[in-house]
Structure 1
């Protein structure tokens, strides 16, 4: 049975206190959320205006060394139209650099909108079989539907020893400008599943006043400790809606 984590709680990913063991050769970090309904009364329901404007939440993973820093900031990738994308193929996995180590897939080109799930799974398997150690499965623009809204798949046991910790954060795209904030997000969770899709642990955010007017969130982290992989629930809300502001704290 999966462990329901509390803020600040740390667990061993390999096995739990009930003696259950997990296969960390491939771990899926899944994140999900819903947006609260407006309370506009019966007229709001009649005109279908109860739903908040769609939120675009982006999941980012910072790969840290033993000093707690992002050692490789990647490079600039320049498209034929002159558009430049930074942080490509470095130690940051996000919507413009969706795999590690190659960074394959930019500007959501890895999985264009409307890609069938079967096709996505085939592509993910191909990437993992071809040597990618981490695959970001794409950008869900709304958070609608059951289950995980975004996933980051990690070959945890195969990661090079230079990667000592992975920090997972979520940012609301243009949250400040759109006045969108985590106080309006509910049922937000992060969970870890092993290669056999056995859920190891899940951390769900309660409706907390700390989330009001915050546009990003450090959700959790996995890290090495005495030869084992641990997971810690963090749940630290931040004012910024730009993950680069968070990244600055992990750069020498």
Structure 2
């Protein structure tokens, strides 16, 4: 049975069989907004663009690698941030790519954006990996997390195209803390005494841009 994560909850990456979880997916699933028109007699679909990202830190809290959508070209805007990319330097983490719409025909059971993780391949200098979520500022959807039909983040065994077993899940759209918020620091993988563990952070913010969330993660969640 999957662990229903709550804010601040810490878990060991160990299955019921006692086997440690080392290869898994961190995925975000969400639905497009269905907008009623003409007195509710018809409807239209409003695309929702969420972005799943992560930053990797060493034991001193220095950011040494990152993954976020390549569509973010920060270097061109002189913001002092690197442009987006889909793979970590050590190739231990891989992002499946930017989904710009969400599920437009109901939940298909698969996640829209996924970061695959191989803990055995993570650079030994990396001590923690912080995952976060943003609503893209220039998307059709101008609301917050609570206005999305469903939005959840989960850790599961499988592939981007097949879910074998869900290990843990955090429901975003149902959280009252996410009302009025467009950025979410989801959680952190971290090393402790040679083992990897996970803490569900669940802190939501009004961040109108991923730039604000990146700065927040580096400042407040690196250690």
Query: Shorter-chain TM-score category?
Result: 0.7 to 0.9
Residues 33-57 of structure 1 show CA distances to partners (whole Å, capped at 9, x for unaligned) of: 22454466x832x3224x4x21111
Change (3 A) 1:175 1:208: farther
What is the count of residue pairs matched by the alignment?
202
CA RMSD of aligned residues (A): 3.0
User: Aligned to 1:233, which of 192, 196, 200?
Assistant: 200
Q: Aligned partners of 2:121, 2:85: CA distance in 1, in Å?
A: 20
Q: Say which one has the larger Rg.
A: 1
Q: Within 5 Å, which residues of 2 pair with 1:35-54?
A: 35-38=32-35, 43-44=39-40, 46-49=41-44, 51=45, 53-54=46-47
> Partner of 2:114: helix, strand, or coil?
strand
Residue of structure 2 in register with 1:60 after alignment: 53
Structure 1 position 203 matched with structure 2 position 198: no
Specify which structure has the higher proportion of strand: 2
Residue of structure 2 in register with 1:163 after alignment: 126
Change (3 A) 1:136 1:176: closer
Further displaced range: 159-168 or 1-10 = 1-10
TM-score (norm 2): 0.77
Consecutive unaligned residues in structure 1, runs of 5 or more: 78-82, 89-95, 102-130
Q: Aligned partners of 1:2, 1:209: CA distance in 2, in Å?
A: 22
Q: CA deviation at 1:205?
A: 2.8
Conserved 8 A contact 1:22-1:198: no
Q: Aligned partners of 2:9, 2:212: CA distance in 1, in Å?
A: 26
Q: Aligned partners of 2:17, 2:10: CA distance in 1, in Å?
A: 17
Q: CA deviation at 1:239?
A: 1.0
Q: Aligned partners of 2:138, 2:36: CA distance in 1, in Å?
A: 21
Residue of structure 2 in register with 1:7 after alignment: 7
Residues 90-139 of structure 1 show CA distances to partners (whole Å, capped at 9, x for unaligned) of: xxxxxx311111xxxxxxxxxxxxxxxxxxxxxxxxxxxxx622111011
Moved over 6 A (4+): none
Q: CA deviation at 1:148?
A: 0.8
> Partner of 1:99: helix, strand, or coil?
coil
Q: Aligned partners of 1:67, 1:186: CA distance in 2, in Å?
A: 39
Q: CA deviation at 1:21?
A: 1.8
Specify which structure has the higher proportion of helix: 1
TM-score (norm 1): 0.69
> Partner of 1:167: helix, strand, or coil?
strand
Q: Aligned partners of 2:139, 2:27: CA distance in 1, in Å?
A: 25
Q: Aligned partners of 1:70, 1:160: CA distance in 2, in Å?
A: 13
Q: Aligned partners of 1:149, 1:84: CA distance in 2, in Å?
A: 27
